[in-house]
Amino acid sequence: MKRNRVYILISIIFFLVYIFVICTTYNKNRSYLLDTTIHSQLKLVSSYKQKFDERLSALKRIVETMGKKLIKKDRFRDFDSIKEMLTTAMISGDGFKSVYISYPDNFTISGRTDWYYSDDYIATKRPWYIEAIEKRTTTISKPYVGSAGFEDKLYISIASPIYDKNGKLLAVMSSDLELNSVQKELSELFPVKKGFAFLMTSESEVIVQSNKLGLDFNNSKLKAFLQSFSKQKKGDKTFNLKGEEFIFTYESLKNSDWLFVSVLEKKEIFKTLNQQLFMNLISSLILFILGLGTIIFMSITQKKLYEKHLLLGHFAKSPTWGILLTDKNGNIIFINKVFEQIFNIKSKSLYEKPLDTILPVLKNKKNINELKSFHDIKKSLFTVKSYNLQKNNKVYRVQITPLLNKFQKQLEGTIITLNDISHEKYLEKKESEQEQLLIQNSKMAALGEMVSAISHQWRQPLSTLLMLISNAEEIVEKNSLYKASRFLSRSRDTIELMNETVNAFRNFYKEDFDKREFDLIKTIDEILLITLPQMKINGIELEFKYDKDINYTCNSYPSYIKQVLINLISNAKDELCLILRQTPLFEAKISITLKKENNQFYLTIQDNGRGISKDNKEKLFEPFFTTKAQGTGTGLYLCKLLVENKMNGEISLSNYKDPTKFLIKFGESDV
């Protein structure tokens, strides 16, 4: 055990050192990764900014070149030629939505085939025109709403003012880019999955963006943060918003006062690194748990092996069990002291002898389970033989168990145990006697009621007999023999009915605990014949329903079935009598139903009494539980004992109210 504790301590120290190394390495990698990412991002921004600059420079050249060519033409005489050149420039501009030239008097010529000049179009008031005049150079305008007919979209314009030698404004050459297309182009130029890029003016106004992180550019803190970019043309800064950190890298464009800005979510930079850290920690934890578990398992296994070895030693030296062991060839290798004492033998003389030499002392008269030879064990490797053996006025339980290898295929030996069960047998006998006494007492408890009911039932037949015999005598005196014969026949029927009642009563109370084949319908009818007088006295209807086309032959214990029925009917009768005392006009009824399905009998006894409370449902079949003032609590307990232990059936309360219903299930032949 001390060695295992040392192993566990070493494992914990190693685990903690390993965690320290992982965390230290993680912090170094995190710092290096952040620096590397920012440096790479600056390079990336510079690279894509240059591409965007080149793109804008190309568009500017197209506009400026086209303006110089068109200003030499007469706008009225060469209108068609100017429009054609504008259309060609729009096509070559690769993204221009429109290319047009506007003059100081608002006259405008557009390269779009679906747009023509109208008097209500005032070019000199358009944003792009105003910005170009103010800056007196080619300008990329801020986003603005399209003119009449195109108000649903935002545009930016590349506008170039054209002056003569004296500085007089001749016209403004302009080309339109749809803001959505610029935004799409920006996203394609800067395809970062975990971030995005945007264009911003020197006044910190965001013009074009491909926002993948959902930043709110109207946030006052973010606006103040972006304004700090204008002080430097290039750099990187970190911004914290609602607990999330974002890394901004930026650089100004060459062809405008705009800034090209990229944004990365800081946690995304470390996501892979964090995942690696998590996996390393989990892996180390799993390895630690496995190692610790292995040590603990080995410790427990060693302890169990020691305990089992100790237990086997105690078992072999048991003062109550007789034990004999053989090897796989059937040779005796161990006999304990108890075994020696039971059979008065000396173990030393039997060691290494075949098991068959001692089998005669293990034999019991007329016992089919006893072991005849070691060959019987080899024939049935998966069978445990067990039987009772009487020796020295005691009863022993002999158990012969084959010992198999782990693959359950080959015999490794045999163990024979003897256990003194004399006391258990004595208790079983006493228990059986008590059960029979309980059954008989239950019968006697119903005797008084039945005798009273039968005597009441017989009063009317006896009176009828006296009257019939008197009438017969009178008729005989008058020599009317035919009428006398009829009265005598009626008398005989009455006497036979009384005899049936007596026979049923006698069959119920005679000692009959044998299993035999009988007609279940006839047995139930006998019970009904006995109990019917009680029902009539108390005004209770008793009915019995079954399918007359079915054979109800049963191989079981008729006496037990009668006893169970008597108890259940009596309980129902007592409950209904209480109701009738309070409500004399109540229609009390007890129904018995018998069904047969798949060689199983289903017998239900139900009544329309007040039912059983939910609190008492679970206690019904417990011994000495009763709800009656004068009850003993043995009735339903006896029913459960007889049905389940004797008939190998089932009894249950299938419905506790409206109606109260008990269900008894048993087979054609109990197993």
The predicted structure's pLDDT at residue 17: 75
* Averaged pLDDT, 644-657: 86
Strand order in the sheet with 411-420: 332-335, 321-327, 411-420, 394-404, 385-391
The predicted structure's pLDDT at residue 141: 79
Does residue 441 surpass a pLDDT of 60?
no
CA distance 303 to 289: 20
The predicted structure's pLDDT at residue 556: 86
367 pLDDT band, cuts 50/70/90, is low
CA distance 469 to 475: 10
The predicted structure's pLDDT at residue 493: 56
* Averaged pLDDT, 207-236: 74
Q: What is the pLDDT of residues 620-633, one digit of tens each?
A: 777 766 767 565 66
Q: Which residue has the higher pLDDT, 229 or 602?
A: 602
Cα dist from 446 to 55, 455, 580, whole Å: 113, 14, 20
Does residue 496 surpass a pLDDT of 80?
no
CA distance 671 to 669: 6
Q: Which residue has the higher pLDDT, 113 or 79?
A: 79
Q: What is the pLDDT of residues 288-325, one digit of tens each?
A: 777 777 777 777 776 666 665 565 566 666 677 788 88
Three-class DSSP category at 610:
coil
* Averaged pLDDT, 264-274: 71
Identify the weakest region by mean pLDDT among 85-89, 283-287, 309-313, 511-515: 309-313
- 32 and 24 in contact (C-beta within 8 Å)? no
Q: What is the pLDDT of residues 19-28, one digit of tens each?
A: 777 778 777 7
- 425 and 394 in contact (C-beta within 8 Å)? no
CA distance 10 to 25: 23
Question: Rounded to two decimals, what is the model's pTM?
Answer: 0.36
The predicted structure's pLDDT at residue 477: 60
Q: pLDDT over 70 for what percent of the chain? A: 72
* Averaged pLDDT, 572-587: 87
Does residue 590 surpass a pLDDT of 80?
yes
The predicted structure's pLDDT at residue 671: 46
CA distance 18 to 24: 10
The predicted structure's pLDDT at residue 270: 67
Q: Which of 143, 128, 116 is nearest to 175 (CA)?
A: 128
Does residue 655 surpass a pLDDT of 50?
yes
Q: Which residue has the higher pLDDT, 260 or 481?
A: 260
Q: What is the mean pLDDT of the chain?
A: 76
* Averaged pLDDT, 49-54: 74
Identify the weakest region by mean pLDDT among 184-198, 293-307, 354-368, 449-463: 449-463
Does residue 657 surpass a pLDDT of 80?
yes
* Averaged pLDDT, 115-137: 83
Strand order in the sheet with 195-200: 206-209, 195-200, 259-265, 244-252, 234-241
- Each as own residue / partner, the long-range contacts of residues 627-636 (CB below 8 Å, 24 or more positions apart, any chain) are 628/574, 632/445, 634/438, 634/441, 634/442, 635/442, 635/567, 635/570, 635/571, 636/567, 636/571
Identify the weakest region by mean pLDDT among 29-43, 185-199, 326-340: 185-199
Options 3.90.1310.10, 3.90.420.10, 3.30.450.20, 3.40.140.10; CATH of 318-422: 3.30.450.20
Instruction: Please report, for the chain, the start and end positions of each structural domain, with discontinuous segments joined by +.
Output: 73-181, 318-422, 511-670
By residue count, the chain amounts to 671
Does residue 232 surpass a pLDDT of 80?
no
The predicted structure's pLDDT at residue 82: 86
Give the residue carrying structure tokens 């709110």.
216
CATH topology of domain 73-181: Beta-Lactamase (3.30.450)
| Mean pLDDT comparison of 304-318, 399-413, 481-495, highest-scoring range | 399-413
| Mean pLDDT comparison of 51-55, 289-293, 558-562, 655-659, highest-scoring range | 655-659
- 591 and 662 in contact (C-beta within 8 Å)? no
| Mean pLDDT comparison of 162-176, 482-496, 555-569, highest-scoring range | 162-176
CA distance 411 to 8: 41
Q: For helices 520-538 and 481-509, give the axis angle rounded to 10 degrees.
A: 100
CATH class of 511-670: alpha beta
Strand 206-209 to strand 234-241: parallel, antiparallel, or no bridges (unpaired)?
Answer: unpaired
Q: Please determine whether the domains at 73-181 and 318-422 fall in the same fold group of CATH.
A: yes
The predicted structure's pLDDT at residue 325: 84
The predicted structure's pLDDT at residue 497: 57
Identify the weakest region by mean pLDDT among 38-52, 64-78, 129-143, 448-462: 448-462
The predicted structure's pLDDT at residue 397: 83
